[in-house]
Structure 1
Amino acid sequence: MFTGITGIFNSPNGTDMGEQLLNKVASQSIRHLFTRSEAIDIAIRCYPSSKLLQGSIDGFQMNGRGLVIRKDFYVEEMSFQTDAVALDVGAIFSGQLRLKQPTQAVAQVTLSEAGINEAFKSPLVTQRLVNLSLPEISDRPLCFQDIRVELLPNNQIHLFAQADLGDSEPVPIALSCTLEVERRRRIAFAHCQFRGDLIPETVHPQSEPLTQALGEILNNMVDLDRFDLDGVTLRINRLETQGKQLLFSGYAQIEHFPGSTR
């Protein structure tokens, strides 16, 4: 097998063929990270290109668009660029991308307002918002539903929801808060404020305590460890709202790729 590999890389077009093969295998492996993807582009960095024969590359860059994680979480765009990577050459020729050791990558993620609102409808989120026991508010289990987010400048958001108390009409909720990053993995809904100006005055006495309760629940819910990709751990250094998009920058720790051995 090694003779065959050497022959490919030492042929006149061997370097190009090796890069093409690596691009193909990398694209297939990365596609398996996502439930769906509109486009994934891979760029290999390797100089001199003969290092491919030893499985050594300077790094690679992935740019993805229209990605879906765990069936329900839509990502507008995601990119990451790795440090130097040591690969198992034999695995490449069997159609796998196998790392000899973990590597890190600079990562950027873009979410859309529409994608965030769809994520609030996913079972992974809604199951944490139903049959809640809040005795200080109601003697019956309650649930929060129909959550909708509006992205605002300076990492601000408006959030609207309905609280179903089970024995009356749903109570509308409106709050404003600031999105912050905690411990590089948790999105905090900080400085939550009741926005009585956005809902009817007649429901303020019920809505205000429900607003505080929902803010506390959200603060303990959005943890990136619950959304990790197979073999890839994401961490956030910074987030920023830009128009109707939420941008994250940070890094990815890549232990292995789907279908490969750790």
Structure 2
Amino acid sequence: MELRHLRYFLAVAETGSLTIAAEKRLHTSQPSLSRQIRDLEEQVGVDLLIRSTKGVELTPAGKAFLDHAKLALTQVDAAIEAARRAATPAKQRLALGFLTGQEMTWLPRAMSLLREELPNIDVTVSSDYSPDLAEGLARGKLDAAFLRAEPGFDLTYYPVCKEPFVVLMPSDHPLSERESIRPQDLMGEKFIAMANKARVLRGVIDGYLQKEGITVEATSGVDNPAMVMSLVASTRGITLIPNYVEKLMPWSVISRPLLNPPTVDLCVGYSKANASPLLSLFISRLSQLAELEIN
């Protein structure tokens, strides 16, 4: 069994189609891909896919195999990244990731932790959605990231702050005249829900609404702040979102505090398998983050 078999199988499983996987993901022919999958099934000794005119579905054996295939490929990617870094040790590198929008607050603080080391290291910075940051950590593409505590990844999370949720609404919405919003005020409003990809935020919001006995009519599901604000402004809906987005709001939307709001942790995530001495130094200083002020 070769790595290409795993990558081919993963592409088919994620697209649900041999044809789409071959043409769009793998840039090979569909008959060639089919042969590779049959070779894989022969080596495993069981059928992994059910083929039909509508596409392909995973068998129970295929679903079990998929989880292990993903883990194996993640570990291979992490090993490759570690080897590349070890091959160029002249200057240490620290790759930091930030949940989009959080870099404005937390990048200066992160840099302050490494002020003495900065002349001798390369620091790369990227921003992305929380699940993508978690995957970057697992694959060794990032050393540390400011993100949500995403489940399903073998990562360690260090909470750095709790963020209260606020109500986001169009600037001229009737509720904007209030200083704060009660949970029952959300009843009857067009509600913009978080997409499944933003599962941590969605879980907190759904749990809060259930606890308060609030039923909302959810419309579009979104997973990033820019799209949330665009939909709030264009559809005249409202949503709940952590208050850090207040630094990103255009004139067309406004926020109001929520009475007894739920909160969500912002964490620094990292992999214990990452043996970078620079990461170890950074992690050892995380307790100082909350004490640092932005000038």
TM range (shorter): under 0.3
Higher relative contact order (CA 8 A, sep 6+): 2
- Per the normalisation by structure 1, the TM-score is 0.25
- Per the normalisation by structure 2, the TM-score is 0.23
**Higher strand proportion (structure 1 or 2):** 1
**Higher helix proportion (structure 1 or 2):** 2
